[in-house]
Amino acid sequence: MAHVKSGGATRQHAQRPGKRLGVKMYGGQVIKIGQIIVRQRGAEFHAGKNTKIGRDFTVYATAPGTLNFRKLNGVNYVEVISK
């Protein structure tokens, strides 16, 4: 008797597209006002100088300058250093 196994839970749900989360700009890069730096779920990266955090936890620039990532007391901060 020929048969094929069901495949388990991996075959039982519909395929959905990824949400394109992650770091979009990296340290040392020149950034403009309003550019998205990080798209995330939850505050893995916190807003530092010249950055703000949106309601969906997106970190974006509020001033032009150079991007910098730093860690303070175990918390990751993203900041823009003005020219």
Condensed to tens digits (0 to 9), the pLDDT of residues 20-41 reads 999 999 999 999 999 999 999 9
Q: What is the mean pLDDT of residues 7-24?
A: 83
The full set of domains in the chain, from first to last, is 20-81 (2.40.50.100)
> Is residue 47 helix, strand or coil?
strand
Residue 83: pLDDT band (50, 70, 90) is: confident
Condensed to tens digits (0 to 9), the pLDDT of residues 30-82 reads 999 999 999 999 999 999 999 999 999 999 999 999 999 999 999 999 999 99
Q: Report helix, strand and coil shares of the chain as percent, to nearest 5.
A: 5, 40, 55
Q: How far apart (Å, rounded) are the C-alpha atoms in residues 38 and 69?
A: 11
What pTM did the predictor assign? 0.81
38 within 8 A of 77, measured Cβ to Cβ: no
